[in-house]
Amino acid sequence: MTDRAVEDLLRTVAPQVLGLLVRRHGQFDRCEDAVQEALLAAATQWPEQGVPDNPRAWLLTVATRRLTDEWRSERARREREVAVAIREPAYAAVAPPADAEPPAEDDTLTLLFLCCHPALARSAQVALTLRAVGGLTTAQIARAHLVPEATMSQRIRRAKQRVEAAGATFTMPSAAERDERLRTVLQVLYLIFNEGYTASSGPDLHRAELTSEAIRLTRILHRLLPDDGEVAGLLALMLLTDAHRAARTGPDGELVPLAEQDRSRWDRAAIEEGIALVTAALTWSPPGPYQVQAAIAAVHAEAPSAERTDWAQILALYRLLARLAPNPMITLNQAVAVAMVDGPRAGLALLAPLDADERTAGHHRLAAVRAHLLELAGEPAAAREAYRAAARATTSRPEQRYLELRAARLAAPPDPTKEPR
């Protein structure tokens, strides 16, 4: 087995082993540490000594040994402490027989819900999900987020403590909480996807892996909840977006906008899968925001070029999206569709109120869209100023580079054959 295949196997089994362990012993924090240690042991031993016949049982045994070793040494230290007396029976007697355990995949779902506990800040939910469900090492997560390993290790430790302090148990949330928690899980997965959806060059390669990890986790979630239209919608949206990967950056790592991408380089297999998923979901599920966004991405994917895109359909979908999830960032995208259908002036009119909305005022995306529409409207000077404003407001280097380039192009002396004076 290759190192890569071993890693894939480990990461599929990891949440199942953690689920079993927590179910038997409680103590999410310690069980998670024990599984992480078992994973590291496997990652070093398996490629050399071969993969055991039952990888899950192997990991479970090693992780359990770590836990009992720890408890034993602790008991030696604080022999008469009551805590140990309480903990011991929990380990010995309360553990259910193996055949009474629910299927391991249910544990993955429970685990995902636990990692997205509302007591945690978003960055903590992301880190914990990647480690406990994704089976990534702290070092990998730290590299992907460009922070020192010690910082990430501390963030994960704190997150686990918070989850325990909040009194969370390893059970599915109640029916009342479940929808809300699932929404959080989808937000966390989409955030991980977007964190990785970057100019995939040089030092960003580790980060780009987050995108495939988000897709992998969303696939698992879709397998566990096949009847949830929004889970299917999110998976479709990710696949349709990631299909642009090869085309969205140029040879020097510069961003290539959707309209200028070489569509022959789009990943057709991912597009087909995404379209099939969202089409099916929309037939049996009430439309939700992820499904509608996926549907918009599907219309783009089916268009042979930017000009020959069915903008009327995209606009109709944006109007639906704005009703389902009113949000000024959606209005921003809708303005582009309006401009393509009714002309740039109509699009610009839609942007005007966003200057007064604190969520978008001064945002680089607002300035960038305005710049684009002003350019279409034949106002190069105003467009140039808006591109420059957007370049100043963004905190992304590739975006800044792109926006400065657009501004510079408009600053070029007018071509006398096109603009006679």
Largest Cα separation within the chain, whole Å, is 95
Beta carbon of residue 203, minimum distance to other proteins (angstroms, whole number): 6
Q: Is 54 in the site for other proteins (CB under 8 A)?
A: no
Which lies closer to other proteins via its Cβ, residue 154 or residue 171?
Answer: 154
Segment interacting with other proteins, rule: CB under 8 A, options 56-64, 152-160, 225-233, 337-345: 152-160
Q: 242: closest CA among 193, 312, 205, 173?
A: 193
Residue choice 131, 145, 363, 388 for contact with other proteins (CB under 8 A)? 145
**335 in Cβ contact with 351 (< 8 Å):** yes
In this complex, which beta carbon is closest to other proteins, that of residue 127 or of residue 278? 127
Name which of 224 and 329 has its Cβ closer to other proteins: 329
Looking at beta carbons only, is 151 or 171 nearer to other proteins? 151
Evaluate whether 241 touches 185 at the Cβ level (below 8 Å).
no
Q: Write the CA distances from 306 to 121, 258, 301, 365, integer angstroms.
A: 39, 8, 10, 20
Give the burial string for 311-341 (b: 16+ CB within 10 Å, else e): bebbbbbbebbbebeeebebbbbbbbbbbbe
Q: Which of 21, 368, 391, 407 binds other proteins (CB under 8 A)?
A: 368
Crossing angle between the packed helical segments 104-115 and 175-196, to the nearest 10 degrees? 80
Q: Is 154 in the site for other proteins (CB under 8 A)?
A: yes
**Binding map of other proteins across residues 166-205, x = CB under 8 A, - = no contact:** ----------------------------xx-xxx--xxx-
Cβ 209 to other proteins, closest distance in Å? 13
Q: How far is the CB of 391 from other proteins (least distance, A)?
A: 11
Residue 151 interacting with other proteins (CB under 8 A): yes
- Residue 362 touching other proteins (CB under 8 A): no
How many chain residues touch other proteins (CB under 8 A)?
A: 43
In angstroms, give the least distance from the CB of 404 to other proteins: 12
Which of 31/367 has CB closer to other proteins? 367
Cα 152 to Cα 148: distance, rounded to the nearest angstrom? 7
Letters for 4-43 (x = contact with other proteins by CB under 8 A, - = none) are ----------------------------------------
Using CA of residue 306, residue 311, residue 313, residue 316, what is the dihedral sign? positive
- Rounded to 5°, angle at Cα 284 from 278 and 289: 50
Collapse the DSSP code of 284 into the 3-class scheme (helix H, G, I; strand E, B; otherwise coil) and give the result.
helix
Provide the b/e sequence for 254-278 (b: ≥16 CB within 10 Å).
ebeeeeebeeeebbeebbebbbebb
Closer CB to other proteins, residue 291 or residue 333?
333
Instruction: Return d(Cα 75, Cα 126) in angstroms, integer.
Output: 34
Closest alpha carbon to 253 in 390, 371, 397, 146? 397
Exposure on the CB side of residue 25, measured as CA atoms within 13 A? 26
To other proteins, the closest distance from the beta carbon of 138 in angstroms equals 10
Restricted to residues 232-271, the positions that interact with other proteins (CB under 8 A) are: 241, 244, 248, 255, 257-258
149 lies in the site for other proteins, by CB under 8 A: no
- Encode burial over 43-66: b for 16+ CB neighbours within 10 A, e otherwise: eeebeeeebeeebbebbbebbbeb
Q: How far is the CB of 201 from other proteins (least distance, A)?
A: 8
274, 301 in Cβ contact below 8 A?
Answer: yes
Least distance CB 318 / other proteins (angstroms): 17
Residues of span 114-143 touching other proteins by CB under 8 A: 121-124, 127
Alpha helix stretches (DSSP H) within 54-103: 55-77, 82-92
Cβ closest to other proteins, residue 201 vs residue 279? 201
Under the rule (CB under 8 A), what is the footprint of other proteins? 121-124, 127, 145-148, 150-159, 194-195, 197-199, 202-204, 207, 241, 244, 248, 255, 257-258, 368, 395-400, 402-403
